[in-house]
Structures are given as structure tokens and as C-alpha cells.
Amino acid sequence: MANPDVIVIGAGIVGVCSALCLQREGLRVTIITRDGPGEACSFGNSGGIGGGVSVAPLSLPGIVGKAPKMLLDPKHPLSVRWNYFPAMIPWFVRFARSSAPARVEQISDARASLFAMGTESFAPLLEAAGATDMVRNTGSLNVYESRESMVLAGVGREYARRRGVVFEEIDGDEARRLNPILGPKVDCAVFFPDHAQTINPGRLVQVLAQRFTADGGELISDQVTGFSFAADGAPSVRTRGGEYGAAQVVIAAGVWSKALARMLGTRVSLEAQRGYHVMLPKPGVEGRLMTTLADRNLVISPMEHGLRITGIAEFAHPDAAPNYAHADRILAQAAEMVPGLKTEGATRWVGPRPSTPDSLPVIGRAPGYERVVFAFGHGQNGLQMGAITGKLVADLVAERPPSVDLAPFRPDRF
Ligand SMILES: Cc1cc2nc3c(=O)[nH]c(=O)nc-3n(C[C@H](O)[C@H](O)[C@H](O)COP(=O)(O)OP(=O)(O)OC[C@H]3O[C@@H](n4cnc5c(N)ncnc54)[C@H](O)[C@@H]3O)c2cc1C
């Protein structure tokens, strides 16, 4: 059989959206993936899409002074595996640099440029896959246990407000009216009306991947172990099971892209910021919309298969064994805010957010390799940014001017 036009490595939300966008250009596309579609980090997220709620990066000004206290507190949602800490020092140094006020403004502009096109880029993919019912435009809530904490968190919201994100401050009773599962500890809240949510992120990727294969795309289960290049620059992808040639290759392998980029001589600053979830199939309450318990850094999301509680930012090797004590803690914390929460049949999960120190993804041509495109590093927002990234990948492969300025996402910026 003739080689495909493009091989996409990875079948998370970013790889599958990229493959679909390339396919819509009329190209023959093959996905090679180690895990099944939507089975890695894209499986277990909170499902938040659009709205630009989190325009500001994680590296807000002043965070560096607070970080040591957070990291040394074993109960804080930010944690690090200390045996991995030395390997992460360069990442933390870049993170600190990214917190300079002027840099935070630049980063927020770049993130907003992707968020602005996130929803409109998703729509045609959802429609083609018959999956529009998997995304609900319910808005989302950030709830606070005191007015002081809502005011403090206003610093981050200000970056969003100045970039056109709409939100409304409401009192605790209004928050409970919007999401009746919330208990009396909620004092006040911020409502983001333009936020949407998928009811099952893992299944959403599977449904999109089914559209891809139904339209003639090939999906190969295998692990990529290396690359080789013909004299004319044509790439081949080596896997455990064989070797596959293509006119172009897209690396969209989430946090594992770091090792693949390194094989091509590019060092990217990319680490696993691992999040945990607890899935409650019979929670005994019915959540109406995605709700962030801001003082506890937890998100509660109603899903088609129960209530999902997500949280924790654990810096560790992406494949390190899970520490499910984190998951147990987020469940206990959520139970304090949601009276009557039932835990029967609960399942726990961990997944690696592919995180760059500047909270910006890596999107662009691989330095020195004209026929390889990088598309990874979406951190906390891969679902929101997946479809627009796919569109930008298609722009690059088709050699069109990109729909968004790609300079902030350059692979060689580290
Ligand atoms: C708790 C939690 C909550 C979150 N909430 C949200 C949210 O509300 N909204 C949002 O937008 N984002 C959220 N995120 C972030 C989002 O889930 C990620 O940014 C996104 O899933 C990353 O997608 P990806 O396609 O880059 O990577 P992944 O989904 O990890 O996919 C990587 C793919 O690459 C494949 N792969 C890896 N190495 C190889 C190899 N060598 N050869 C072949 N294949 C390989 C894997 O098998 C997999 O298919 C959350 C994350 C977590 C953990």
C-alpha cells in the first residue's frame, strides 16, 4: 500500500483532532498510538471546553514566593515527588521566569488567541462525528467559601476580563440555585455563562476517532521508538512492530512527546503535572454544571456516567505509580462541600497533564525537520485547545498562513 500523506503519533484529543483536520484537507492520514483513542490523559479530565475562563497562566506574578510553602505542605494540592525534583529544576526556573508581569500579559494574549477559536474549531468536528450532544453549554461556576478568597482570586480573573471573557459575581444562594448539590459552605461564586462541558471526555475522543476511521483513516496500535529520514527528507517512523513512511509526521503524543522531540534533537521543557479523579457512578446527587471549588482546587463535573471530582497537580515522572491517597483526599474534600455525596462504586484515576513552564503549547515545525510538526504541551487545557490545534496543524501541513500567530508556541523557545 502507498504511504499515507501524514502520520499522526498519538490518539489523545490533540492527535485525533489533528488527524480529523488533516483528513478534511483531503489527505490520507494514519494515526499510530500506544494507547487506544482517548485512553491516556484525555480520558479523565474535567471536561471543560471554551469560555476562556483560564486565560491567565499558572505562573501568576507572586507565585514563586508562595510555591515552597505549597510544596512542603503534604496536604496541598500542589505536590512533587521529591526523587523526581532534581530533574525538574530547569522547568521550575523557566516557570519562575514566566511569572514576570509583562510575560504573564504576553502569555495571556497567546492563550486567549487559542481559546477565542477553540469552540468554533470544535463545532465542525463534533457535527461530522454526530457528537454535538456530548457537549453542553451550561456555563460553569467557581465557588468560594469566603468573600476574601473570591476577591483574592480576582487577580487571575482580571486577565480574562481584559480579554473579553464574560462572568458575573453571585452570592451563595444563587450558586446553589444554579447547582443545587452545593452545600451551605459556599459563600459566593463567579458564574461563567459561555463555558461548555463534555459529558464524557474519553468517549468523546473515541467517537471522534470512529469518525476518522469511518472516513478512511487508519489507526495503528503501536509504540513509536524512533525516526529515520530519506535523503530527500521524507520521514519514516520506527515502532516496536515495524517501520512506516509518510510525506509528513505530526507528533501529538502528550507528555511523552518530550522523548520523541529529543530523538529529533529538540529539547522541550515539558513535564507531567499529574491530576487525579474520582468517578462516582451513583453519587446520590445530580450536578447541573461544572463547578470549581476554588479554595480547594477541585472541580466537580456532572458526566453521563456519574459525578467526577478532579484535582491535584503532582509533578512526577509521567509513568510513576499513582499515589491514590491524593484521590482519596479530593473525595473527602468534595464531600465537605456536597452534602449527601455517595461513594459506592467509586473508581480512581491519574493522568499526566503535558505541562510547559509558560502554560503555552508547543505548535510548529520541528527545528531542522521541515516535514515534522509538533503539537503538544497543552497542560490544563488540552480539551479546550485540541480542535484549534488540529486546525493549526492542518495549516502547517498545507503550508497556509496559520489561523493564529504561532510565534508564542515556537518549539525552540526553551
Ligand atoms: C484531572 C485533569 C483535569 C483536566 N481538566 C481539563 C479540562 O477541564 N479542560 C481541558 O481542556 N483540559 C483539561 N485537562 C487537560 C487535558 O486532559 C490534557 O491537556 C489533554 O488530555 C492532553 O491531550 P493530548 O492529546 O496532548 O495527550 P494524551 O491524551 O495524553 O494522548 C497522548 C497520546 O500519545 C500516545 N503516545 C505516547 N507516546 C507514544 C509513542 N511513543 N508512540 C505512540 N503513541 C504514543 C498515547 O498512547 C496517547 O494516545 C485536565 C487534565 C487532568 C489530568
One-letter-per-residue 3-state SS of 250-308: EECCHHHHHHHHHHCCCCCCCEEEEEEEEEECCCCCCCCCCEEEHHHCEEEEEECCEEE
CA–CA distance, 286 with 241 (Å, rounded to integer): 46
Q: Band the pLDDT of 52: cuts 50, 70, 90.
A: confident
Residue 357 phi/psi, 5-degree rounding, is -70, -20
Work out the percent of the chain whose per-residue pLDDT is above 90: 92
Compute, in angstroms, the gap from residue 354 CA to the centroid of ligand 1.
7
Work out the percent of the chain whose per-residue pLDDT is above 70: 100
Compute, in angstroms, the gap from residue 175 CA to the centroid of ligand 1.
31
Compute, in angstroms, the gap from residue 378 CA to the centroid of ligand 1.
8
Taking CA atoms only, the protein residue closest to ligand 1 atom 7 is: 48
Which of 353, 355, 363, 389 for mutating ligand 1's site (highest number of atoms within 8 Å of CB)? 353
User: Residues 407, 109, 64, CA angle at the centre, nearest 5°?
Assistant: 100
Mean pLDDT value across residues 49-78: 85
pLDDT, position 76: 83
| 177-235 residue pLDDT tens | 999 999 999 999 999 999 999 999 999 999 999 999 999 999 999 999 999 999 999 99
| 5-42 residue pLDDT tens | 999 999 999 999 999 999 999 999 999 999 999 999 99
CA–CA distance, 167 with 216 (Å, rounded to integer): 42
What is the overall mean pLDDT for the chain?
96
Q: Band the pLDDT of 58: cuts 50, 70, 90.
A: very high
Total-model pTM: 0.97
Q: Does residue 119 or residue 324 have the better pLDDT?
A: 324
Computed over its alpha carbons, how large is the radius of gyration of the chain?
21
| 264-312 residue pLDDT tens | 999 999 999 999 999 999 999 999 999 999 999 999 999 999 999 999 9
* pLDDT surpasses 80 at 89: yes
* Ligand 1 pocket, residue 310 CB under 6 Å: yes
* Ligand 1 pocket, residue 52 CB under 6 Å: no
Residue 128 phi/psi, 5-degree rounding, is -60, -30
128-153 as b/e, with b when 16 or more CB fall inside 10 Å? bbebeebbbebbbbbbbbeeeebeeb
Q: Are 6 and 243 a contacting pair, CB within 8 Å?
A: no
Residue 180 phi/psi, 5-degree rounding, is -65, -5
* Ligand 1 pocket, residue 285 CB under 6 Å: no
Residue 33 phi/psi, 5-degree rounding, is -140, 140
Using the atom order of ligand 1, give the atom closest to the CA of residue 351.
53
Write out the three cell numbers for 311: 484535582
Using the atom order of ligand 1, give the atom closest to the CA of residue 375.
26
Using the atom order of ligand 1, give the atom closest to the CA of residue 274.
53
* Ligand 1 pocket, residue 12 CB under 6 Å: yes
* Ligand 1 pocket, residue 354 CB under 6 Å: yes
Q: Band the pLDDT of 147: cuts 50, 70, 90.
A: very high
* pLDDT surpasses 90 at 86: yes
Compute, in angstroms, the gap from residue 39 CA to the centroid of ligand 1.
8
pLDDT, position 373: 98
Taking CA atoms only, the protein residue closest to ligand 1 atom 3 is: 45
- Nearest by Cα to 355 from 314, 386, 300: 314
Q: Band the pLDDT of 118: cuts 50, 70, 90.
A: confident
pLDDT, position 307: 98
Taking CA atoms only, the protein residue closest to ligand 1 atom 20 is: 382
pLDDT, position 67: 83
Compute, in angstroms, the gap from residue 108 CA to the centroid of ligand 1.
22
* Ligand 1 pocket, residue 258 CB under 6 Å: no
- DSSP tag of 409: G
* pLDDT surpasses 80 at 84: yes
Compute, in angstroms, the gap from residue 258 CA to the centroid of ligand 1.
13
